[in-house]
Amino acid sequence: MSTNKLAMAVKATTAAIAFGVATQASAISFEAGDAKVDIYGYARLNAVYDIDEQISIGSGTQSGDFSKINTGADEDNEATGYFDADAVQSRIGVRTTLPTGVMVNVEGDFRGGATGGVLRLRHAYGQYENWILGQTWSNYNSFVGGTSVLEFDGVAGDPGLRSRKAQVRYTSGPLSVSVEDSATRIEGATPKNGLPAFTARLESKSGMLAYSTAAVVQQVGYDDGTEDDSAFGYAVFGSAKLALTDTFSIQGSVNYSDGANGYLWRSGSNYYGEDAYVVNGNVETITGMSGNIGASLKAAGGTFNLVAGMTEMDWDDAEADGLAVADKHERNTNAFVNYQWSPVKSVNLGVQYGYFKVKEVSGDDGDASRLMFAAQYNF
């Protein structure tokens, strides 16, 4: 597969994951001198009802936030339910293609700020032949094997980093490698990023099976002017989708990390777990694992999706070394069932039930159930 075709396939898959049955919408295109310009995006409403929580556990875009789930004694408080809605997931982008073959893409949404409403940069990169330079999806990431949910933040155990990183990437057929900005988290110290992260990914398809696997290596260290230490962390994932028929598929992923839990999606308090901790001046890495499995069925004029996922971090060594980690999230679990349909071209609707559960190192746990409705208008 050529680089351009592979990039187009990834973008189409991204659009489908973002809203189930949503296909790549036709952009507004025009010529500006020798350049072709596409303006694309969508307006979107997300509305939720938290069934058994006294406050909304939603973040901007109304995705469920694991850090807001009551645990322990607070879990026993009388539940009253909570409604909330926003449109901050709405998005706009500009893609310019020059006669030289250079493509430039700048895209943003309105999730920025504490309550949304501020334009947030998502993508800002240039592509020429096999090279991509700028900010876009981390190369340690794949949408192969993902199950479509209305949840903007996706499912626990989704493969890789569901975020965008400044990077230099080279792609040759199914293989891509990159040097990326590294963001480490260390319990008990301010991290020092002495080196970038290095990634490699293999992504392809054979018959009914599409698959992706990747690895990332990063340095995890600190230097407070008095003491310093570092270690190397890594993570790997495998993801696949098996299309059993034209209307039914099963898909999923598995992830493992050691000193790279920032790449273990929906770990830690909500998004990214700590990579390591410091004891007696030494950096000790933390391991983690995650996975999910789902199924999709096209029926009744739309698509039904069912998926469950989990992330888990091993805090045993940190606890044995005397760190106060009782309230750390040991396990995050969520599951979704939804139905998505398109009543007219460029309009997508969806309804969803979501379940979230948190287990802390102390043994305290808590859960939450919520209903979600989404309406998306693409252009």
Q: Could you report the per-residue pLDDT of 348-377, keeping only the tens digit for each?
A: 999 999 999 999 999 999 999 999 999 999
φ/ψ (deg, to 5) at 375:
-135, 125
161 token code pair: 């980093």
114 pLDDT band, cuts 50/70/90, is low
Which two tokens mark 103? 């493509």
Helices assigned H by DSSP within the chain: 3-18, 316-320
Q: Where are the domains positioned within the chain?
A: 3-378
Place of tokens 């139905």: 339
For residue 276, CA distances in Å to 36, 180, 259, 343 come to 47, 20, 6, 48
Distance (Å) of CA 243 to CA 246, 251, 293: 7, 8, 14
Pick the CATH number of 3-378 from 2.40.160.10, 3.40.718.10, 3.40.440.10, 3.40.50.150: 2.40.160.10
Nearest Cα neighbor of 202 from 183, 218, 184, 215 is: 215
Question: Which run of H or of E encompasses 349?
Answer: strand 347-360
Asked if residue 91 has pLDDT above 90, the reply is yes
Res 15: pLDDT: 45
52-68 mean pLDDT: 90
Strand partners, 216: 199, 235
The answer, yes or no, to whether residue 270 has pLDDT greater than 80, is: yes
The C-alpha angle with vertex 364 and arms to 363 and 366, in degrees rounded to 5, equals 135
Q: How far lies 308's CA from each of 157, 158, 334, 353, in Å? A: 9, 10, 6, 12
Once rounded to an integer, what is the mean pLDDT over residues 212-220?
98
pLDDT at 10: 43
Q: Which residues are CB-contacts of 185 (< 8 A; sequence separation ≥ 6)?
A: 191, 261, 262, 268, 272, 273, 274, 275
